Structure 1
Amino acid sequence: MRASIMPSARINPLVETLASPPIPEVQAWKKQYNASLGPLIDMSQAVPGYPPHPDMLDWLGEAAGSLAMAGYGDIEGEPGLRAAYATWVSDIYAADINPANIQITSGCNQAFMAAMMAIAGPGDTVLLTNPCYFNHETTLAMSGVKVGYVDCDAADGFLPTPAKVEAMITDGVRALAIVTPNNPTGATYPDGLLRELFEICRTHGIWLVVDETYRDFLPLDTGSPHGLFAIDGWQGNLIGLYSFSKSFCIPGHRVGAITAGEALVSQIAKVMDNLQICAPRPPQAALAKAIPALGDWRQSNTLEISARSAALTGVMASAQGWEIAAIGAYFAFVRHPFTHLSSHAAAHRLAKEAGVITIPGSFFGNGLEHYLRVAFANADVATIRELGTRFASCSR
């Protein structure tokens, strides 16, 4: 008698059809490098290339061992952190931002997801740039939200033009989401462009979502990144996203923040209650102390990242066939010389033959086969200066 074949349980096709996470794929290439040119240089994932401040580690340890931090916390976040962050961003943007405008999340990816769930649903459309941060793209796709792509050209510094944005806004579009300084290109949106994009969004009654994960690594003489939070009525159309991971060197502790109007924060809190109830409490308690105490340390790290950026710029200037198309904060978008190879094949070759791990441009959108993302913040200046030899060895 033939055994019956039982049907398999179904997987959500919105998840099943997504590509696998890209970082593990490129990390696997490490095993193929034979160390012939020296130690492997990993410039793939955006992680701080230096440790947290010792005081930060002490505060984390104290909070983790505290009985008071072992229970549930407020859905919107620890009052101390919300107050400290509101004071900090009020100073950064010369604006009046209150703790009630702050929602603490478990990292900036969760901040994006929670914000999107509050403002867009299945069948709605959110505009992203091309190139875009791949986790934004997959978050929307698995939620049944359509994605419209605003093409950004190298000739424009990989920044969207207001005309292209406006042309993409049709019925069903709920938001425009941008990243500045950008991931993957590093391009920084000037205040004037941000103001134009905000006014376009306000005219059409949609949200402008600004992910500023890397804002603390802008040159120290930049001043305020923009003036959007000082605009009267910003709460009706603006959402700011932030990650504490890079500035405080704690990506494993997963803490991010949303800055929004009180009405929207109350809606996002509904989402957070179902996603996680509350973000991890010990790092929130530690960050409430670190924000006012570690300003000088953060500034010294900004100077170090600027030095790494300058070192990469110098190396690339003499690397035959290689070209920086855009650079800023943590990333450079680099044009590779292998015209006969896809970006995936070029990145794989660079990893295998030269021991340099980068991310293929194709992972960030269409028409990007000539580019690689280089996360230069991961490596110190001395290591970055070795890249010229590595690139030359792989270009032959």
Structure 2
Amino acid sequence: MTRLPRTATTFSPPVMEARRWLDGVDFTHRPLINVSQAAPVDPPPEGLRRAMAEAALHTPEAHLYGPVLGLPDLRAELAAQWSASYGGEIAAANVGITSGCNQAFCAALSTLCAEGDEVLLPTPWYFNHKMWLDMTGVTAVPLPAGDGLLPDPEAAAARITPRTRAIVLVSPNNPGGVEYPAETLHAMRDLARERGLVLVVDETYRDFDARDGRPHDLFTDPDWGDHFVHLYSFSKAYRLTGHRVGALVTSPERLAEAEKFLDTVAICPAQLGQIGALWGMRNLSQWVAGERAEILDRRAAIAEAFPRLAAKGWRLLGCGAYFAYVEHPFSLPSDALAPALVREAGVLLLPGTMFMPASDPSGARQLRIAFANVDRAGIAELFERLARVSLPLAPAPATA
């Protein structure tokens, strides 16, 4: 029997697939509204770019291999700032810098799982997490989110088997946008500790959380490294997407295992991006606060404008950080509707089927809107276009 190569065990990259829907469509008279990807489209602030340019010109070692776990100054800076903001004790020895947050996830899971193991992923899930598990022979066990797109610890406990190694959460969530309450994260950590698992929390969008103060107290546990792994991305806060700078925060022992993975895959994270991230952490707190305020205003604009779509049968399932996750009213499944919306409305977004198991029919009714690059006027235009879509509606649900 011929076995499939690892890459053949998963689906094609969703964002790349969606971009192909644009081929042959004329946007001359109706510019495309692209709400498909959660990535800043503007360059970093000038000061950060200057710091990187100066390093490129005057720091010869910036062009060489650096430490596998990242520049010591950046590791120390993140440890100090996270200790202050989360209220726990985090040392530089707990921090590894990675080539983006996706690589941090892959490194962390490589220290946790062997082929045939299982990991709990709430659905809708972040598709790159599912892809990595597929390609490493790890089973992603769907954990359907309940009301408000929040995962339930009791439902998680019921899905744990002897092969389960980790529970993975994303907060603020991609694709749902929801911010997980501290109580939910605390309960999931307690469950992981009770069952001998590890809770992995991807906090890529932490800088755009609407809540004031720390989002959780997981780092205040003196033994936090035993059952908790934190992931972060510098891409969103500092517009460093193309430079691929992320972070893995865990115990020194697990970081030593992750170093094997990182050395094999990339040898080291790119130094110029790290130099930019360090400069940003030291100099851009007020600027990031302004970026957060703008994102929160766009989130408010989504909530304020949504009643127009609600009157047409749409439902807002979740909203926050970069995302609104919605249920559409049309008879077309979302994987057919999303390409149709490119042609019908000049809107590019992603279908819920990209965030759900094929066996879950709810994905066919759902769509993700990544609104971070669309201002209030753009959001108003987006909703205007969606409200005008005249495709056949799904039949109303039968009543008893």
Tell me the TM-score normalized by structure 2.
0.93
Where do 4+ consecutive residues of structure 1 move more than 6 Å?
Answer: none
For 2:276 and 2:53, locate their aligned partners in 1 and report how far apart those are by CA, in whole Å.
9
Q: Deviations over 1:153-185 (max 9, x none)?
A: 3xx111111110101111011100110111111
Q: 2:367 aligns with which of 363, 372, 388?
A: 372
Q: Structure 1 37/230 Cα, relative in aligned 2: closer, same or farther at 3 Å? A: farther
1:244 equivalent to 2:234? Answer yes
Count of residue pairs brought into register by the alignment:
383
**Structure 2: which 5+ runs fail to align?**
392-400
Larger CA deviation: 303-312 vs 32-41: 32-41
Native 8 Å contact 2:89 2:222 kept in 1: no
For 1:41 and 1:32, locate their aligned partners in 2 and report how far apart those are by CA, in whole Å.
16
Partner of 1:4: none
Matches within 5 A, 1:111-130: 111-130=104-123
Partner of 2:81: 88
Matches within 5 A, 1:31-46: 31-35=23-27, 38-46=30-38
Q: Deviations over 1:221-247 (max 9, x none)?
A: 521010001112111010000010000
Q: 2:377 aligns with which of 382, 388, 394?
A: 382
For 2:267 and 2:50, locate their aligned partners in 1 and report how far apart those are by CA, in whole Å.
26
For 2:28 and 2:284, locate their aligned partners in 1 and report how far apart those are by CA, in whole Å.
41
1:49 Cα deviation (Å)?
4.6
AA matched with 2:136: S
1:141 equivalent to 2:134? Answer yes
Partner of 1:7: none
For 1:37 and 1:222, locate their aligned partners in 2 and report how far apart those are by CA, in whole Å.
43
Q: 1:293 aligns with which of 278, 283, 286?
A: 283
Partner of 1:206: 197
1:262 Cα deviation (Å)?
1.1
Partner of 1:325: 317
1:393 Cα deviation (Å)?
2.1
For 2:103 and 2:3, locate their aligned partners in 1 and report how far apart those are by CA, in whole Å.
22
AA matched with 1:224: R
Q: Deviations over 1:1-46 (max 9, x none)?
A: xxxxxxxxx8853311321111111112223543376211000010
For 1:51 and 1:390, locate their aligned partners in 2 and report how far apart those are by CA, in whole Å.
28
1:51 Cα deviation (Å)?
3.2
Partner of 2:163: 172
Larger CA deviation: 27-36 vs 196-205: 27-36
Native 8 Å contact 1:106 1:279 kept in 2: yes
Partner of 1:6: none
Native 8 Å contact 1:337 1:395 kept in 2: no
1:83 Cα deviation (Å)?
0.8
Native 8 Å contact 2:245 2:277 kept in 1: no
Tell me the TM-score normalized by structure 1.
0.94
For 1:234 and 1:359, locate their aligned partners in 2 and report how far apart those are by CA, in whole Å.
36
Partner of 1:353: 344
Q: 1:226 aligns with which of 197, 200, 216?
A: 216
Q: Structure 1 36/388 Cα, relative in aligned 2: closer, same or farther at 3 Å? A: farther
For the aligned residue pairs, the C-alpha RMSD in angstroms reads: 1.5
AA matched with 2:89: D
* Partner SS for 1:157: helix
* Partner SS for 1:368: helix
Q: Deviations over 1:35-78 (max 9, x none)?
A: 37621100001012543111111112122333111211111110
AA matched with 1:346: L
For 1:317 and 1:231, locate their aligned partners in 2 and report how far apart those are by CA, in whole Å.
43
Same amino acid, percent of matched pairs: 40
For 2:283 and 2:121, locate their aligned partners in 1 and report how far apart those are by CA, in whole Å.
36
For 1:386 and 1:333, locate their aligned partners in 2 and report how far apart those are by CA, in whole Å.
18
Q: 1:282 aligns with which of 272, 290, 302?
A: 272
